[in-house]
Amino acid sequence: MSNAKLWGGRFSESTSEAVEAFSESVSFDARLWRQDIAGSKAHARMLGRVGVLSGADVTAICEGLDTIASDIAAGDFVWDTALEDVHMNIESALTERIGEAGKRLHTGRSRNDQIATDVRLYVRDAIDALVTDIDRLSTALVDLAEAEADTIMPGFTHLQVAQPVSFGHHMLAWREQILRDRARLMDARKRANICPLGSAALAGTVYPIDRESVAADLGFDGITANSLDAVSDRDFAIEFVHAAGLLMVHLSRWSEELILWSTPMFGFVQLPDRFCTGSSIMPQKKNPDVPELVRGKTARVTGDLMSLLMLMKGQPLAYNRDNQEDKEPLFDAHDTVAACVGLYADLIPALAVNRETCRRAAVEGYSTATDLADYLVRKGMAFRDAHHVVGGVVAQALDEGRELAAMPLDALQAFSAEIEDDVFDVLRVEGSVAARDHAGGTAPAQVRAAVARARAAN
């Protein structure tokens, strides 16, 4: 029955079942119902303001859409794949409920500007919710940084012990990453929050529409400048998923660290039991599932980004049905990143730090060797020579199975007559960390200053 379709007038046979199943999108775009209904109500109100629809029609449309919204929210709405997408499901239900006025809703509009509007509203909402959770995560990192400002751990390069750092400094390094993610999301929001309604199918519409007022009604910051671009552009979705992908890459890097740190070989931290699972065969196991899954799910989100980029690369202007394929990667990326940020915001405050183990790892890793070289430089030696001398000290300490701070003074003096009793201040990890006392450095005083700045910025 071709005439059952809202667009069926010119068709002489009905869509094949296979094509219907292949081309429907309501099975996944139904989740845009809130945005779709908000957009339709705003469009109807505008048509009323400019005199295209009567006040009675606008009221009937808005009330009808409200009843549909409450049915959907209550789970009482029957979605029909024969009606293709979220738009036509809602529009058909509206006409069933209110009659003629329902058929007037689509005046001066196309599904092309309608879907572009829905997806923009969706991305805006997604960004707002995600930023709220990023802020929660950021606060958790600041709190942990303050609590562990004096905790010393090895800093790594090449995953080899390099120099001692404050655990709090490490947490604030993580925070810097997600602050950039937040900024990228807020920047993407600016370009997402522009209203394409009025672009209609591709060329605009003949009705005396007031685009600015619909945009304001929906909380958009402005209107799109070109109808052809407006119906085809999905940059805003790509930007969101890009920012989400990079955020996931950051969480994946944290995950890798937490997975290592929570092994008995490192033993720096304990993940709360409620974030872990056991093994069905090995009774001693406590597996770091959440970090592992976050690391694994990073693949999905970066894959979603690739899907969207490839989706757009061959499309001529203006709208093409290809664009329907933007939904699943967008939703998947959003669901995944939201879950991961939310879980990390819960996990970080529950992280138990094993302070002694962290400190011991820094001490045993000869992490103050650079401090000894810097000490010799202060005594007048050229840095390259000092580096060589300290290499010899480390070799001997390794031979003797001693930490640097446990080397006897006379043994050290055999390497350089310049070495005096005060050398032990720099050989101790506390001295090493405290000495890096400048903006951006790891001294606990700097960590506390950074914490204070973070708190003041909120």
Q: Looking at beta carbons only, is 77 or 415 nearer to ligand ARG?
A: 77
- At its nearest, how many Å lie between ligand ARG and the CB of residue 284? 51
Q: Looking at beta carbons only, is 88 or 429 nearer to ligand ARG?
A: 88
- At its nearest, how many Å lie between ligand ARG and the CB of residue 274? 39
Positions touching ligand ARG (CB under 6 A) are 25, 29, 85, 111-112, 115, 321, 323-324
- At its nearest, how many Å lie between ligand ARG and the CB of residue 200? 11
- Scanning the structure block, which residue is given the tokens 């738009």? 87
Q: Looking at beta carbons only, is 113 or 403 nearer to ligand ARG?
A: 113
Annotate the chain with three-state secondary structure.
CHHHCCCHHHCCCCCCHHHHHHHCCHHHHHHHHHHHHHHHHHHHHHHHHCCCCCHHHHHHHHHHHHHHHHHHHHCCCCCCHHHCCHHHHHHHHHHHHHCHHHHHCCCCCCHHHHHHHHHHHHHHHHHHHHHHHHHHHHHHHHHHHHHCCCCEEEEEECCEEEEEEEHHHHHHHHHHHHHHHHHHHHHHHHHHCEECCCCCCCCCCCCCCCHHHHHHHCCCCEECCCHHHHHHCCHHHHHHHHHHHHHHHHHHHHHHHHHHHCCCCCCCEECCHHHCECCCCCCCCCECHHHHHHHHHHHHHHHHHHHHHHHHCCCCCCCCHHHHHHHHHHHHHHHHHHHHHHHHHHHHHHCEECHHHHHHHHHHCCCCHHHHHHHHHHCCCCHHHHHHHHHHHHHHHHHHCCCHHHCCHHHHHCCCCCCCCCHHHHHCHHHHHHHCCCCCCCCHHHHHHHHHHHHHHC
**Is-catalytic flag, 279?**
yes
- Which position among 2, 70, 279, 388 bears the catalytic label? 279
- At its nearest, how many Å lie between ligand ARG and the CB of residue 328? 10
User: Which residue number places its CB atom closest to ligand ARG?
Assistant: 324
Q: Would you give the distance in Å from CA 174 to the centre of its chain?
A: 13
Q: Looking at beta carbons only, is 7 or 383 nearer to ligand ARG?
A: 7
Q: Looking at beta carbons only, is 120 or 297 nearer to ligand ARG?
A: 120
- At its nearest, how many Å lie between ligand ARG and the CB of residue 106? 12
- At its nearest, how many Å lie between ligand ARG and the CB of residue 278? 44
Instruction: Give CA–CA dist 192/237, Å, rounded.
Output: 8
**Is-catalytic flag, 334?**
no
Q: Looking at beta carbons only, is 85 or 146 nearer to ligand ARG?
A: 85
Q: Looking at beta carbons only, is 124 or 436 nearer to ligand ARG?
A: 124
Task: Report which residue type is found at 164.
Answer: P
- Which position among 12, 16, 158, 280 bears the catalytic label? 158
- At its nearest, how many Å lie between ligand ARG and the CB of residue 197? 14
Q: Would you state the structure tokens that stand for residue 455, as one six-digit string?
A: 């708190």
Q: Which residues are catalytic?
A: 158, 279
